[in-house]
Amino acid sequence: MGGDHAAATLLGPGDDAAVVAAPDGKTVVSIDTQVQDQDFRLEWPNGYRTTGFDVGWKAAAQNLSDINAMGGTATSLVVSLTLPPETPVAWVEDLADGLTAGITELGAAKCSVAGGDLGRGREISVTVAVLGTLGGSHAVLRSGAQPGDVLAIAGTAGHAAAGLAVLESAVNVDALQPEQRIFLDLQCRPRPPLAAGPAARAAGATAMLDISDGLLRDGLRLAAASAVGIDLDPAPLRALAEVLRPASELLGTEPMAWVLGGGEDHGLLATFPLNVQLPPGFTAIGSIQALGSNESPSVTIAGRSADTGGWDHFAH
């Protein structure tokens, strides 16, 4: 192994297993599946057809994000494809292209596809397991947030949810303006901020996870694992929502629901001690609170309950 950008795959496809470098004696690992009609539709109500490239890219992005969320960098992917017999070969080749493009364009320079498995089924299913390295450092867990810490976000919030709403709308894909289309593109090909995870670890992040199910739900997971409360600031949430206006105005909806409930952007949610300068790409959006003796971990907005609809008060 040479510098930071040397390929980590020591033995690639062709044998019963691959061999991947783990120079510091630890391997980070995660696994994630996308299933047709559950995680994506081949054709959407607005006429968009999911490409193999989209599915490959998204599989890469989701998995790379899991390593990012630990503060690590990805070293390899192994891929298992289940395909109905009628799946066009070109669609599968496009999926392979999307996987490698996702790896490259998202900046996972050490990473490559080390191996795979192919089988038949009634529906398309793509499972990727990702390996990564912490580069001699520690993993950032969900459980380390401390009262007084700053809560910060990296990457986008709600873009993929806005894109999902556009895909499920009656607004034909060909009629979209570029500033509307971007949300659809991010739903189909998310762009997790891969530099941000290791940067957060290096800066002393106390806890971290990726936002795959929405700010409120993933925030509550971090709060529960750390046995703390999270209080969100309305102002940065409003700024995050403002960015979604081109989609919300198109559909006549309120963007704050996407900011708080939308996953799949695969942004990072991390906590930092108050005296730490946030690394590039992170924006403070709240703070960590101690729990009283009878309190459960929770997520509030300016001290008010953030359960369904509870954020309406702060939306405007």
Note whether 232 binds a second copy by CB under 8 A: no
E runs forming strands in 104-251: 112-120, 125-133, 150-154, 207-210, 229-232
78 touches a second copy by CB under 8 A:
yes
Please state the closest distance from residue 178 (CB atom) to a second copy, in A: 32
Phi then psi dihedrals of residue 89, to 5 deg: -55, -40
Nearest to 290 by CA among 148, 151, 150: 148
Applying CB under 8 A, the span of 35-43, 188-196, 252-260, 282-290 interacting with a second copy comes to 35-43
Residue 195 engages a second copy in binding (rule: CB under 8 A):
no
Retrieve residue 270's tokens: 């991390």
Tally of CB atoms within 10 A around 238:
15
Distance between CA 218 and CA 101 in Å, rounded?
28
Least Cβ distance, residue 160 to a second copy (angstroms): 17
* Element containing residue 81 per DSSP (H, E): strand 73-83
Tell whether residue 72 is a contact of a second copy (CB under 8 A). Answer: yes
Yes or no: say if 260 and 214 are a contact pair by the CB < 8 Å rule.
yes
Which of 92, 96, 109, 139 touches a second copy (CB under 8 A)? 139
Closest to a second copy by CB, 63 or 300: 63
Q: Check residue 39 for interaction with a second copy (CB under 8 A).
A: yes
Indicate which single residue of 70, 176, 184, 205 sits in contact with a second copy (rule: CB under 8 A).
70
* Stretch of 123-131, 179-187, 226-234, 250-258 lying at the interface with a second copy (CB under 8 A): 123-131
Residue 43 main-chain phi, psi, to 5 deg: -135, 135
Residue 30 engages a second copy in binding (rule: CB under 8 A): yes
Could you tell me the smallest distance in angstroms from the CB atom of residue 187 to a second copy? 17
Give 217: exposed, middle or buried? Use CB within 10 Å, 0-12, 13-18, 19+: middle
Q: Are strands 125-133 and 73-83 parallel, antiparallel or unpaired?
A: antiparallel
Q: Does 112 bind a second copy (CB under 8 A)?
A: no
State the residues that interact with a second copy by CB under 8 A: 10-11, 14-33, 35, 37-39, 65-67, 69-70, 72, 76, 78-80, 82, 114-117, 119-123, 125, 127, 129-132, 134, 139, 141-143, 209-210, 225
